[in-house]
């Protein structure tokens, strides 16, 4: 199955879109964009990352905070609008929220879990969560931690995809055991996915160590 990435993101947008300040204009732009893209690819792309990286790194284990970017400033409920529009345009496509630094049990990952749980409780259509999984051999979640994160989304009835896995070596690139360290990191990610039946996709972000 083909995955589409992504419908709404704060980065790499045309200047005219970044400049929108009116809530009405922003909602119109989001609805038009999602409608056009999903209509064009209907029946071809089965899964979409609807919104990418909406939650700020300053979020805590008890409170999620939206990125204070132009999307949120113009239309605070833009995430709701995006998911609702996507479901309306193509009821058969699976809708995902995708983010980084949510692979282990820490503040941001817990905040994103609360955010996704809130979407479900408010009836916003969402089918799964994408864990980007950009890590390094020095900074990565433990196998138990990532297994726990995926398991919590399983309990919500959602699918989980590991969407952008890469493993940097940074200052250990010249270490004699760097290959072993990277192998362990990739292995733990795959093991955690296989241990949870709701983890249904495993994607690697490129094939180099850059």
Instruction: Tell me the catalytic residues.
Output: 53, 164
**CA dist 152 to 25, 114, 177, Å?**
37, 11, 33
Kindly write down the DSSP assignment for every residue of 193-209, as one continuous string.
Answer: HHTSTTEEEEEES-SS-
Cite the DSSP H helix spans in the chain.
15-18, 23-41, 70-74, 78-89, 107-121, 143-155, 178-194
Q: Interior CA angle at 192 toward 182 and 159, to 5°?
A: 125
Total residue length of the chain: 210
Q: Using CA atoms, how far apart are residues 171 and 38, in angstroms rounded to an integer?
A: 43
Q: Using CA atoms, how far apart are residues 27 and 116, in angstroms rounded to an integer?
A: 21
**CA dist 119 to 43, 82, 90, 202, 208, Å?**
26, 12, 19, 24, 36
Q: Using CA atoms, how far apart are residues 55 and 184, in angstroms rounded to an integer?
A: 29
């Amino acid at each position: 199955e083909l995955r589409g990435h992504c419908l709404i993101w704060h980065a790499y947008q045309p200047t005219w879109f970044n400049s929108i300040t009116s809530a009405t204009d922003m909602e119109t732009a989001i609805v038009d964009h999602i409608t056009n893209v999903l209509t064009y690819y209907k029946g071809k792309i089965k899964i979409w990352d609807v919104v990418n990286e909406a939650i700020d790194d300053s979020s805590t284990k008890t409170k999620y905070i939206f990125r204070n970017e132009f999307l949120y400033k113009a239309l605070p409920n833009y995430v709701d609008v995006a998911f609702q529009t996507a479901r309306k345009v193509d009821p058969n496509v699976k809708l995902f929220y995708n983010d980084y630094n949510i692979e282990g049990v820490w503040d941001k990952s817990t905040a994103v879990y609360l955010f996704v749980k809130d979407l479900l409780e408010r009836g916003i259509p969402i089918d799964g969560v994408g864990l980007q999984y950009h890590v390094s051999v020095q900074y990565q979640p433990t196998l138990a931690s990532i297994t726990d994160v995926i398991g919590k989304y399983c309990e919500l009835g959602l699918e989980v995809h590991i969407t952008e896995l890469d493993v940097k070596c940074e200052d250990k690139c010249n270490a004699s055991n760097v290959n072993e360290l990277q192998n362990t990191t990739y292995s733990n990610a795959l093991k955690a996915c296989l241990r949870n039946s709701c983890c249904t996709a495993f994607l690697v972000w490129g094939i180099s160590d850059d």
